[in-house]
Every structure is written in C-alpha cells, then in structure tokens.
C-alpha cells in the first residue's frame, strides 16, 4: 500500500492525514472487491481516488480497461490512466505503457516511445509494493529491462547495439528471469568475448550505481 508524503505547516497536518487514511481505506475496499471479481465495486471505489490523483487507483483503472474487467475493453482509456500513473513514477504503469506503445494498443505504434518508458521503468526501483502484481521492485522493473534489451538487440526504436542489449538482459537475468538469460545468451552468439565482458561489466556497474547513468 502506498503512502503519500507532503510537507505542510503543522496546522495542516491533521486534515492531511485524515484525507490520506480515507483514501487508503477506499483503495483497500476497491482492491478487496477486485480480488473477488466484483469489478463494479472496485470501479466505484477507485474512480474518485483516480480523479484525486491516487497513483494506485490510476494504475488499476488502467489494468481494468486494458483487460476489460467490469468495463468494455478500451485500450485508449487504459493508456490514459497508465499515463497519469506513469507520470507519478509508477514503475508498473511505465512498463505497461511502454508495452502498449510497442504493440500499438490504444495509441499509434511507436517503438521510440516504448523505449522511453521501458528505460524509465528499467532504471527505477518501484517504491510501491502492490500485492500479486508487484514486478521485481527491488532492482528496477525486470520486464522492462528484458523488453529494452530485446529492442536494442533488434534495433527497434533505438540504434541496434548488442552491448546495450546484453547489458539490460544481463540485469534482468540477475533478477531470476530465465527468458532474459536465454535471450542474453542468444545475443552473445553475435558478440566477441571482449564485447561480452564489456557488456557484463556495464551491467554490474549499472546495478552498483543503482542505475544512475546507465
């Protein structure tokens, strides 16, 4: 569950926390409803929170519209909610938004923009642990790292570069992704031993620096 920290003068502290606690309670009601398949209730609880800018609610509304849960499946609306959540540094929303740009779902297909969102998600630790849908939050979004590495390998939306492809796939593989290991090893077949060493060192350095400058 998320927390929102805003610094105000002391006189505003009590009303602020009352508002946050109320939002938290409403979000949990929505989440419980969503888990039991009561999407109508989830939507009723989350829509007002989304209008207030609650990033969790924004993200889950994106999920519901993307999957057609309790609403008509609408990729364009899913993109709208994901974008609002992504702009609040929601890593899962950033990844999903990148995926929709890559697939051209609800928005014109655009690999360059997909690379942009994948890169942001790949470099960031997700500060918010959401039950069951948490995506490798400890070290950046591993799915985004995998997709970013794949796009570098294929030269889609970015200049083809096996070293960067290997680097991102190596990072994703370090988080336990078997597909990332397999893809990394495929990329390695088109690289020299020295290139592999450079890419691996870049991956280690990237992780040591918590993705700053990767």
CATH code, domain carrying 60: 1.25.40
Q: How many domains does the chain have?
A: 2
Residue spans of alpha helices (H) in 124-192: 142-154, 162-174, 178-188
Distance CA 36, CA 42 (A): 10
- Sites in the chain below the pLDDT cut of 50: 1-22, 127, 129, 132-138
Q: Are 66 and 31 members of one domain?
A: yes
Please give the pLDDT value at position 110: 98
Please give the pLDDT value at position 213: 75
Please give the pLDDT value at position 163: 98
Q: Are 181 and 96 members of one domain?
A: yes
Domain end, chosen from 86, 110, 145, is at: 86
Q: Are 61 and 103 members of one domain?
A: no
Residue spans of alpha helices (H) in 37-141: 39-51, 55-67, 75-86, 91-103, 111-123
Q: Are 116 and 191 members of one domain?
A: yes
Tell me the residue range of the domain where 43 lies: 14-86
Domain end, chosen from 46, 68, 86, is at: 86
DSSP 140: B
Domain membership flag for residue 7: no
Domain end, chosen from 30, 57, 86, is at: 86
Residues 158 and 151: beta-carbon distance below 8 Å = yes
Please give the pLDDT value at position 18: 29
DSSP 11: G
Q: Are 95 and 72 members of one domain?
A: no
Query: The CATH number of the domain where 126 resides is what?
Result: 1.25.40.10
Please give the pLDDT value at position 199: 98
The model's pTM is 0.82
Q: Are 154 and 212 members of one domain?
A: yes
Distance CA 148, CA 124 (A): 14
Q: Are 126 and 212 members of one domain?
A: yes
Please give the pLDDT value at position 210: 84
């Amino acid at each position: 569950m998320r927390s929102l920290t805003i610094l105000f003068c002391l006189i505003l502290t009590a009303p602020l926390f009352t508002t946050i606690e109320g939002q938290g309670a409403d979000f949990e009601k929505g989440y419980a409803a969503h888990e039991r398949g009561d999407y109508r209730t989830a939507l009723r609880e989350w829509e007002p929170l989304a209008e207030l800018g609650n990033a969790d609610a924004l993200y889950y509304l994106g999920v519901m519209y993307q999957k057609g849960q309790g609403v008509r499946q609408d990729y364009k609306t899913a993109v709208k909610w994901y974008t609002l959540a992504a702009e609040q540094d929601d890593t899962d929303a950033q990844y999903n938004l990148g995926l929709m740009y890559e697939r051209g779902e609800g928005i014109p297909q655009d690999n360059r923009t997909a690379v942009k969102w994948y890169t942001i998600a790949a470099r960031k630790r997700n500060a918010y642990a959401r039950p069951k849908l948490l995506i490798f939050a400890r070290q950046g979004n591993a799915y985004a790292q995998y997709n970013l590495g794949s796009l570098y390998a294929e030269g889609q939306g970015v200049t083809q570069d096996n070293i960067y492809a290997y680097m991102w796939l190596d990072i994703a593989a370090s988080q336990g992704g078997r597909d990332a290991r397999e893809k990394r090893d495929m990329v390695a077949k088109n690289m020299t031993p020295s290139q592999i060493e450079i890419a691996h060192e870049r991956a280690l350095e990237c992780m040591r620096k918590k993705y700053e400058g990767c």
